[in-house]
Amino acid sequence: MNKVYGAYCRSYQAVFRVVSKVLDWTGPQVLKGAGSVKKLPAVLKGNGIKNVMIVTDKGLHSLGLLNSLKEGLEAKGINYVVYDGTQPNPTIPNVEEARELYINHNCEAVIAFGGGSPMDCAKVAAARVAAPGKMIPSMRGTLKVLTKLPPLYAVPTTAGTGSETTIAAVIVNPETHEKFAINDPCLRPKMAVLDPELTVGLPPHITSTTGMDALTHAVEAYIGRSNTPGTKEAAEKAVKMIFANLETAYNEPKNIDARDNMLNASFLAGIAFTQAYVGYVHAIAHNLGGFYNVPHGLANAIILPYVLRYYGEDIYDKLAVLAEIAGLNTDGMSCEEKANLFIDEICAMNARMKIPATFDCIKEEDIPTIAERAMFEANPLYPVPKLMDEEQCQQIIRSMMF
């Protein structure tokens, strides 16, 4: 990277670290444990909420996962309307449809029910309700919303995105195929409901890819330059729990303890990256999702080892610590060997859970634009351990082609 631009990036990140110290990083209230979703209607009733919009997707709705929540709302006399049009990568039209439904039914709060996609859609829909004159593209970036949202309650049904505790939402512009992040503390949910029973029926490939998404959050936060004692602790706990529980949840879908631990690990990883930020893995993954509709967790799982190897010696010390925390056999190894063992184990976990090592959708003619957009997202904001330019990004993308 050009030295002058590199210096600008590092200066920008340093200023943002200072600014972040005055922001409110208070996390959401938490309801946790098997059956905890049944307690949410009483919370809403206690907060005086009489009309609520549930944002989900058609798959979850058709499976009946919302039934216990609906029954609880009806028992408490709370009216609800369901928006289930959220796509796997939520779009601007999805958000606008949800916003219109909220307004037409005089709703007073939003329940995001599902994986990262419904939660992202719900967050931005709530932002549009609160700021009707601010269009979604103008919210792109950091601290562009700055408006108090309607009460937002998040019920994750996957253990991966951590969106129930983050200040981020990611939206696709279907006209330009751009996938971009909106980051603002006001997007953080008021409450998170961590009910492992809601994740028991997940297909194996969703369990695996969302779990690797959570690992990516923890690792990128941990190796970045904006880590704090609090984010470091959260990331370390998340990594330990993911290595101990993800494959169990994958191989034993009804293991409620493993499911519960993965939900908590995802939550901790969300705490870590919402303050310490992510890095180039996410920047590339977002843009592959925008171009080819690749599910975000799958993209992160594939990309993570490639970017970690790019960072090289800049992160050996931190990956060596994570290798030990993950419980890998590091006896007698050097720092570099421990770091490479950690990366190798990520690849091995992917293989054991049938996650491919490459993409079969990438087209050569798209690579320059994907790399340009990824760098536009990442630089100068993301406090990565080693800076990357468009040419280097293109090389990494080409190395991931099938």
Give residue 117's pLDDT band: very low, low, confident or very high (50, 70, 90): very high
Per-residue pLDDT band for 177 (boundaries 50, 70, 90) equals: confident
Task: Spell out the alpha helix ranges (H) of 277-328.
Answer: 280-292, 296-311, 316-325
Nearest to 130 by CA among 153, 173, 99, 167: 99
> Is 125:102 a contact under the CB 8 Å cutoff?
yes
DSSP 28: P
Q: Which residues contact 176 (CB under 8 A, 6 or more apart)?
A: none
Cβ atoms within 10 Å of 252's Cβ, excluding its own: 12
What pLDDT does 24 receive? 84
Confidence of residue 23 (pLDDT cuts 50, 70, 90): confident
Does residue 37 contact residue 196 with C-beta atoms inside 8 Å? no
Give which of 217, 319, 225 is closest to 271, Cα–Cα.
217
Q: How far apart are CA 223 and CA 342, in angstroms?
A: 13
The mean pLDDT value for 11-20 works out to 93
Residue 44 has pLDDT above 90, yes or no: yes
> Over 90: is that where the pLDDT of 22 sits?
no
188 touches 27 (CB < 8 A) = yes
Q: Which residue has the higher pLDDT, 397 or 176?
A: 397
CA 10 centroid distance within chain:
24
CA 39, 40, 44, 45: dihedral to nearest 10 degrees? Answer: -30
SS3 of 79-143: EEEEECECCCCCEHHHHHHHHHHHHHCCCCEEEEEECHHHHHHHHHHHHHHHCCCCCHHHHCEEC
What pTM, to 2 d.p., does this model score? 0.94
User: How open is the CA angle 371-398-326, to the nearest 5 degrees?
Assistant: 90
Mean pLDDT estimate for the chain:
96
Q: How confident is the model at residue 115 (pLDDT cuts 50, 70, 90)?
A: very high
- pLDDT tens for each residue of 223-278: 999 999 999 999 999 999 999 999 999 999 999 999 999 999 999 999 999 999 99
Mean pLDDT (whole number) for 47-57: 97
pLDDT tens digits, 155-176: 999 999 999 999 999 999 999 8
The per-residue pLDDT for 201 is: 87
Of all residues in the chain, the percent with pLDDT exceeding 90 is 94
Mean per-residue pLDDT, 385-390: 97
> What angle (nearest 5°) sits at the alpha carbon of residue 119, between those of residues 174 and 114?
110
81 contact partners, CB below 8 Å, separation of at least 6: 51, 52, 53, 54, 101, 102, 105, 107
pLDDT at 303 over 90: yes
pLDDT at 1 over 90: no
Q: What is the dihedral of CA 94, 143, 158, 396, to 10 degrees?
A: 90
pLDDT grade, residue 21 (50/70/90)? confident
pLDDT of 370 over the 90 cut = yes
Kindly report, residue by residue over 180-228, the tens digit of the pLDDT. 999 999 999 999 999 999 999 899 999 999 999 999 999 999 999 999 9
**In the 3-class helix/strand/coil scheme, how is 171-202 assigned residue by residue?**
EEECCCCEEEEEECHHHCCCEEEECHHHHCCC
Distances (CA, A) of 31 to 28, 42, 121, 261, 401: 10, 12, 22, 14, 42
- Whose CA is closest to 116, among 164, 69, 77? 164
Above 90 in pLDDT, residue 402? Answer: no
| Domains of the chain, earliest start first | 3-20+202-399 (1.20.1090.10), 33-199 (3.40.50.1970)
